[in-house]
């Protein structure tokens, strides 16, 4: 797989996926998912008088929970199709409290020092780490003193963990090692991943996947402090190949982070 060239029209590709976004990506908001985000949002003091930013808001699944905790919400996404779907998630009575911005996540110069809680759920996925670094620096600048940056990032470690479990599963069923490796690589969809640099390519979309240590490194490099990285835990279900047979194994995960400017 060639990851060297630029994939054009990412706004168009993400807009094209908006109609079935929740079918394509794991849902960190499902009731059977262990998600530290909710407790972290509740810990933001006096949230009702503050402003939150949903950076890379996608189709808007987080807007309702944010409106229940914050007085104002900024919903930002670079894909017009995502913004259109997100608008539909907001009740008419709440529309005056939401500002929609169609722009890249690093375009926050007019928001410096105005945000109390910035949230990025599976949106720090730009395949160019220079863009990620610019975005992290822009997010840090937009936070007020005492503000917080919360987010979820897709885990490349979890893909490798799933591969390990599938490999063991195949061996337990009597496959020879070479066949077990091919079985695990196929069902863990290795054809879509560049494991060396944590990248994923699928139907025109290009995404960054993360190691936990890289999250800490890049947040610190952007000037954040008090950085904590933990896990969002997903049950083994039909979203995972072989999930029914993996039910007794520790769950899969994405990374959750919390950082202060």
pLDDT in tens, 125-144: 999 999 999 999 999 999 99
| Chain centroid, CA 105 distance in Å | 13
The pLDDT-based confidence of 159 (bands split at 50, 70, 90) is very high
* pLDDT at position 26: 86
* pLDDT at position 49: 75
DSSP H helices, the chain, are 10-16, 21-24, 37-42, 63-67, 80-87, 129-142, 156-172, 177-187, 212-221
The pLDDT-based confidence of 11 (bands split at 50, 70, 90) is very low
**Section 181-207 average pLDDT:** 93
User: What are the tokens at 88?
Assistant: 């539909």
Decide: 185 and 163 in contact? Cβ < 8 Å.
yes
> What DSSP character marks residue 51?
E
* pLDDT at position 204: 80
Q: E-assigned strands of 97-176?
A: 98-102, 115-121, 143-153
Dist CA 116 CA 195 (whole Å): 35
The pLDDT-based confidence of 9 (bands split at 50, 70, 90) is very low
Confidence check: pLDDT of 3 > 60? no
| Cut 0.85: pTM above it | yes
Q: Which position has the higher pLDDT, 119 or 49? A: 119
The pLDDT-based confidence of 71 (bands split at 50, 70, 90) is very high
Confidence check: pLDDT of 175 > 80? yes
Burial label, 45 (beta-carbon count in 10 A; 0-12, 13-18, 19+): exposed
Nearest C-alpha neighbor of 252 from the set 237, 233, 238: 233
Q: Say whether 149 sits in a helix, a strand or coil.
A: strand
Quote the percentage of the chain above a pLDDT of 90.
Answer: 85
pLDDT digits (tens, 9 = 90+) for 89-103: 999 999 999 999 999
Nearest C-alpha neighbor of 115 from the set 78, 89, 150: 150
* pLDDT at position 48: 66
Mean pLDDT of the chain: 90
């Amino acid at each position: 797989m060639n990851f060297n060239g630029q994939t054009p029209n990412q706004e168009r590709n993400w807009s094209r996926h908006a109609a079935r976004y929740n079918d394509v990506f794991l849902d960190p908001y499902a009731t059977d998912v262990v998600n530290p985000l909710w407790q972290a949002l509740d810990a933001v003091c006096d949230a009702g008088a503050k402003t939150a930013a949903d950076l890379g808001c996608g189709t808007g699944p987080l807007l309702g929970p944010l409106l229940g905790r914050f007085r104002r919400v900024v919903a930002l996404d670079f894909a017009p199709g995502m913004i259109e779907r997100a608008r539909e998630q907001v009740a008419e009575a709440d529309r005056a409290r939401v500002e929609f911005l169609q722009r890249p996540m690093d375009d926050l110069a007019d928001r410096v020092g105005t945000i109390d809680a910035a949230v990025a759920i599976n949106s720090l996925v730009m395949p160019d780490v220079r863009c990620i670094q610019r975005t992290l620096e822009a997010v840090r600048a937009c936070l007020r003193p005492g503000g917080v940056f919360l987010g979820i990032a897709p885990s490349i470690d979890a893909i490798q963990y799933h591969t390990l479990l599938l490999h063991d599963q195949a061996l337990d069923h009597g496959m020879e090692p070479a066949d077990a490796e091919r079985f695990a690589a196929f069902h863990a969809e290795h054809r879509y991943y560049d494991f060396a640099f944590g990248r994923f390519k699928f139907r025109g979309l290009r995404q960054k996947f993360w190691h936990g240590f890289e999250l800490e490194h890049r947040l610190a490099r952007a000037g954040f402090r008090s950085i904590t990285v933990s896990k969002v835990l997903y049950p083994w279900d039909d979203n995972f190949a072989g999930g029914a047979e993996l039910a007794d194994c520790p769950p899969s995960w994405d990374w959750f982070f919390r950082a202060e400017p």
